[in-house]
Amino acid sequence: MLGWVIAGHDDYAQKMLEALEQRFGPQPQCCAVNFWKGLSTNMLSRMMCDALHHCCSGDGVIFLTDITGDAPYRTAALMNHKHEHCEVISGVTLPLLIIMREQRENVSSEAFRQRIVELGGEAVSSLWHQQQKNPPFLLLHK
């Protein structure tokens, strides 16, 4: 099963997780990380790292963030490079998470990424999709 780390500003993440649990019961391998005003990015990084390790069973972890390019997204993007089968998604909404909830159990992290971005439309993106638009800079030596 894919782990989920829901991360966002203020109580966004906790409210998303609470809404899922209210409707479907406890969500295994799922954590909420709230980025409160005044919280350092170092502390956010530690909290997200703890959540990653708590949610990971070896099948992969999906970071579900609120805003592309903001602190929770950037922090997840840094962790993405250190862990296999780790995806970073932005622009998630509760209806989208409800649709994707069952797919956690039987798809790869890459397939999950593709499906959630397709379903979410223009408001939803992933780190992978952003990197395809803006490939990394390559230094060419002569």
For residue 50, tell me if it sits in a domain: yes
For residue 93, tell me if it sits in a domain: yes
To the query of whether residue 9 is one of the catalytic residues in this protein, the response is yes
pTM of the model: 0.89
Tokens 């099963």 belong to which residue? 1
For residue 78, tell me if it sits in a domain: yes
For residue 138, tell me if it sits in a domain: no
* Residues 6+ away with beta carbon under 8 Å from 67: 8, 9, 73, 90, 91
Interval 71-83: pLDDT, tens? 999 999 998 877 8
Residue 43 three-state SS: helix
Containing structural domain, residue 69: 3-133
Distance CA 47, CA 109 (A): 22
What total of structural domains would you count in the chain? 1
For residue 139, tell me if it sits in a domain: no
Annotate 55-78 with DSSP letters as a single string: H-SSS-EEEEESSTTSHHHHHHHH
Interval 116-129: pLDDT, tens? 999 998 899 998 87
Distance CA 84, CA 71 (A): 21
Q: What mean pLDDT is reported for the chain?
A: 91
Distance CA 56, CA 26 (A): 16
For residues 63-92, give the mean pLDDT: 91
For residue 7, tell me if it sits in a domain: yes
Catalytic residue among 9, 83, 85, 129, which? 9
